[in-house]
């Protein structure tokens, strides 16, 4: 069985067209840059009768040509991807076959974008995101990896091989290499290592998509927990001030005084893990979501005890059960829940990394929330709530917090990106997660040893990490842009 090329037999048609359009686009961009230095910028002409005449000068024509050539490039790229989903692997090559593996993701993205654009006027800030091109691009990149993690983790789709299995003769093989002895009629795309093999003969493509599950599970949830800790402590610190503010600010500054990487290193080293300190830290930090939700519901329905009491009881019992399942693990220092009642068992390495991320991010979120609370509490609507006789926690959670949502949502997106980079850094140094873990940081570390000879095992997860963080940053920019318009 022959190996795959990047574009297959389809490349004999599309590759020359793509190369010509790419060269034309680059020449036009260079010409646009030169003309911008020589000619006056394009500007529409306002006539004496108030009508506007479009500028048809050289600058405007070159700018139009740049746009159309760029759209032509996008159209050719879409042709590679779309044809890859309907034609055979030999015809479309590596690019088309990889695109075919991501078919569920493409379908989910199309449905998400169509529904969001149709109903964007009813979706608040999320809907306004689709008025920003930057925000849409960032949202698309983020949701690509979210859907990838979803389909891999829940439905076992996309990946072509077991990410931990080693196949004979596939060590450091180039992208598109056929598996020895494979039958194309039986295994299809699984007959190939689409993005090559690593130094242990494992499939780089399968490890890339499987590694997204670890990143997508840890980064958003750890950031969400950090926000619950920061909000629960930051709101009263900023609202009440005094000794409470002084004490909590001192603790936050004490944690922030340590270098982040050093703090991570101390928390995830085997010696510290053996003492059970991360488990006890998790036992404390995981209480804050229960406190936050409990206070939130109690302050909202305080005057309606018939609804509040059963609602609080049901929510808190459920959350406490999840809390015990999260901190309890058989054979660990905290084993308080019988196996029959344990809803899930978080692996020790992931729990340590999760707790470390929450612990490191919480002080920064605390300081942001504290500053916002100190600013917003001086507004008139807060004084009106105090005049109505509302309680302090109602004012903090239902008056101050909603009006601080813009900066907090933007920071949440950015902080997920920071957390993703931190997870990659930990994996790169071999800390926290098991050595065979397919997370992107560990995979980059494994591939860097032979980077000058076989770059693909390291470059694939590196570009995956780059695209996710870039998407989060663009999404944060789009949200910031739209929140400022409110």
Q: How far apart are CA 329 and CA 168, in angstroms?
A: 37
Q: What is the mean pLDDT of residues 112-120?
A: 91
Question: What SS3 state is found at 432?
Answer: coil
Per-residue pLDDT, 328 = 78
Q: Which of 383, 375, 380 is nearest to 401 (CA)?
A: 375
Q: What is the mean pLDDT of residues 102-116?
A: 94
Mean pLDDT of the chain: 86
Question: Are the CB atoms for 206 and 199 separated by under 8 Å?
Answer: no
Question: What SS3 state is found at 226?
Answer: helix
> Which of 85-89, 151-155, 454-458 has the least mean pLDDT?
85-89
Per-residue pLDDT, 435 = 74
Question: Are the CB atoms for 414 and 472 separated by under 8 Å?
Answer: yes
Collect all residues with Cβ–Cβ distance below 8 Å to 295 and sequence separation of at least 6: 232, 393, 397
Burial (CB count <10 Å: 0-12, 13-18, 19+), residue 315: middle
Per-residue pLDDT, 50 = 61
Q: Residue ranges of the alpha helices (H) in 39-132? A: 58-86, 89-101, 103-118, 124-128
Exposure string of 94-131, with b = 16+ CB inside 10 Å and e = fewer, is bbbbbbbbbbbbbebbeeeeeebeeeeeeeeebbbbbe
Question: Are the CB atoms for 146 and 220 separated by under 8 Å?
Answer: no
Q: How far apart are CA 341 and CA 337, in angstroms?
A: 6
Q: For residue 137, name the pLDDT band (cuts at 50, 70, 90).
A: very high
Q: Is 161 a residue whose pLDDT tops 70? A: yes
Higher-pLDDT residue of 156, 38: 156
Q: At what angle do helices 440-448 and 405-428 cross, to 10 degrees?
A: 40
Per-residue pLDDT, 44 = 58
Per-residue pLDDT, 25 = 92
Side-chain half-sphere exposure of 460, counting CA atoms within 13 A? 28
Q: What is the mean pLDDT of residues 452-476?
A: 90
Per-residue pLDDT, 41 = 59
Token pair for 313: 């009881």
Q: Is 64 a residue whose pLDDT tops 90? A: no
The predicted-structure confidence for 230-254, as pLDDT tens digits, reads as follows: 999 999 999 998 999 999 999 999 9
Q: What is the mean pLDDT of residues 446-452?
A: 83
Scanning the structure block, which residue is given the tokens 């037999």? 9
Q: Is 146 a residue whose pLDDT tops 80? A: yes
Torsion of CA 16, 19, 25, 30, to 10 degrees: -140
Per-residue pLDDT, 432 = 64
Q: For residue 425, name the pLDDT band (cuts at 50, 70, 90).
A: confident
User: Rg (Cα) of the chain, in Å, rounded?
Assistant: 27
> Which of 43-47, 275-279, 456-460 has the least mean pLDDT?
43-47
Q: How far apart are CA 369 and CA 227, in angstroms?
A: 9
Q: What is the mean pLDDT of residues 82-97?
A: 87
Q: Is 485 a residue whose pLDDT tops 80? A: no
DSSP string, 284-300: HHTHHHHHHHHHHHHHH
Question: Are the CB atoms for 294 and 402 separated by under 8 Å?
Answer: no
Q: Which of 294, 278, 249 is nearest to 349 (CA)?
A: 278
DSSP string, 8-30: GGGHHHHHHHHHHHHHHHHHHHH
The predicted-structure confidence for 39-61, as pLDDT tens digits, reads as follows: 655 565 666 666 666 556 677 78
Per-residue pLDDT, 448 = 84
Phi, then psi, of 335 in degrees rounded to 5? -135, 85
Higher-pLDDT residue of 276, 211: 211
The predicted-structure confidence for 380-413, as pLDDT tens digits, reads as follows: 989 998 888 888 999 999 999 988 888 898 889 8
Q: How far apart are CA 81 and CA 94, in angstroms?
A: 10
> Which of 154-163, 201-210, 476-485 has the least mean pLDDT?
476-485
Per-residue pLDDT, 325 = 83
The rounded percent of the chain whose pLDDT value lies above 70 is 92
Question: What SS3 state is found at 177?
Answer: strand
Question: Computed from CA positions of residues 417, 421, 427, 430, in that sequence, does the dihedral angle turn out positive or negative?
Answer: negative
Phi, then psi, of 279 in degrees rounded to 5? -65, -45
Higher-pLDDT residue of 196, 332: 196
Q: First vs last Cα of the chain: how many Å apart?
A: 60
Q: What is the pTM of this model?
A: 0.86
Q: For residue 110, name the pLDDT band (cuts at 50, 70, 90).
A: very high
Q: How far apart are CA 400 and CA 384, in angstroms?
A: 12
Q: Is 436 a residue whose pLDDT tops 60? A: yes
Q: How far apart are CA 64 and CA 72, in angstroms?
A: 12
Phi, then psi, of 52 in degrees rounded to 5? -120, 130
Neighbouring-strand partners of residue 192? 178
Q: What is the mean pLDDT of residues 431-445?
A: 80
- Chain centre to alpha carbon of residue 268: 23
Phi, then psi, of 192 in degrees rounded to 5? -125, 150
Q: Is 331 a residue whose pLDDT tops 70? A: no
The predicted-structure confidence for 210-221, as pLDDT tens digits, reads as follows: 999 988 888 888
Q: Is 19 a residue whose pLDDT tops 90? A: yes
Question: Are the CB atoms for 215 and 468 separated by under 8 Å?
Answer: yes
Collect all residues with Cβ–Cβ distance below 8 Å to 17 and sequence separation of at least 6: 76
The rounded percent of the chain whose pLDDT value lies above 90 is 35
Q: What is the mean pLDDT of residues 100-117?
A: 94
Q: Is 346 a residue whose pLDDT tops 90? A: no
Per-residue pLDDT, 270 = 75
Q: For residue 310, name the pLDDT band (cuts at 50, 70, 90).
A: very high
Higher-pLDDT residue of 452, 372: 372
Q: For residue 143, name the pLDDT band (cuts at 50, 70, 90).
A: very high
> Which of 59-68, 88-97, 426-435 has the least mean pLDDT?
426-435
Higher-pLDDT residue of 450, 206: 206
Q: For residue 102, name the pLDDT band (cuts at 50, 70, 90).
A: very high
């Amino acid at each position: 069985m022959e190996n795959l090329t990047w574009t297959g037999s389809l490349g004999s048609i599309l590759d020359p067209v793509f190369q010509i359009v790419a060269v034309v686009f680059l020449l036009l961009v260079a010409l646009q840059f030169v003309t911008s230095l020589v000619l006056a910028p394009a500007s529409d002409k306002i006539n004496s009768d108030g009508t506007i005449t479009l500028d048809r000068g050289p600058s405007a024509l070159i700018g139009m040509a740049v746009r159309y050539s760029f759209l032509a490039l996008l159209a050719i790229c879409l042709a590679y991807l779309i044809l890859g989903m309907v034609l055979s692997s030999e015809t479309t090559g590596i690019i088309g076959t990889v695109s075919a593996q991501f078919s569920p993701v493409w379908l989910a993205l199309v449905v998400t974008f169509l529904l969001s654009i149709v109903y964007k006027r009813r979706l608040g800030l999320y809907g306004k995101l689709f008025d920003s091109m930057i925000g849409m691009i960032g949202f698309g990149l983020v949701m690509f990896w979210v859907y990838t993690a979803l389909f891999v983790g829940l439905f076992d789709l996309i990946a072509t091989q077991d990410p931990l299995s080693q196949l004979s003769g596939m060590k450091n093989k180039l992208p598109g290499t056929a598996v020895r002895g494979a039958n194309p009629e039986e295994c299809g795309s699984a007959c190939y290592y689409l993005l090559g093999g690593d130094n242990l003969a494992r499939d780089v493509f399968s490890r890339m998509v499987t590694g997204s599950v670890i990143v997508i599970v840890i980064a958003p949830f750890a950031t969400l927990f950090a926000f619950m800790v920061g909000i629960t402590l930051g709101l009263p610190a900023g609202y009440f001030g005094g000794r409470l503010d002084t004490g909590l600010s001192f603790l936050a500054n004490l944690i922030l005084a340590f270098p982040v990487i050093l703090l991570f290193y101390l928390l995830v080293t085997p010696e510290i893990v053996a003492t059970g300190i991360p488990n006890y830290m998790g036992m404390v930090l995981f209480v804050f979501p229960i406190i936050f939700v409990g206070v939130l519901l109690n302050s909202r329905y305080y005057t309606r005890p018939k609804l509040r009491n059963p609602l609080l009881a049901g929510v808190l019992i459920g959350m406490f059960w999840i809390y015990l399942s999260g901190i309890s693990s058989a054979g660990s220092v905290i084993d308080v829940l019988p196996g029959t009642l344990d809803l899930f068992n978080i692996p020790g390495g992931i729990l340590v990394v999760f707790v470390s991320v929450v612990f490191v991010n919480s002080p920064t979120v605390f300081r942001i929330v504290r500053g916002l609370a100190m600013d917003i509490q001086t507004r008139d609507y807060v004084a009106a709530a105090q005049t109505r006789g509302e309680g302090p926690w109602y004012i903090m959670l239902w008056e101050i917090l909603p009006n601080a949502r813009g900066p907090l949502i933007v920071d949440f997106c950015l902080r997920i990106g920071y957390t993703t980079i931190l997870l990659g850094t930990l994996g790169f140094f071999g800390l926290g997660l098991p050595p065979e873990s397919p997370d992107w940081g560990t995979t980059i570390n494994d591939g860097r040893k032979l980077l000058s000879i076989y770059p693909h095992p390291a470059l694939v997860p590196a570009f995956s990490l780059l695209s996710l963080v870039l998407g989060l940053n663009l999404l944060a920019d789009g949200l910031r842009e739209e929140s400022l318009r409110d």
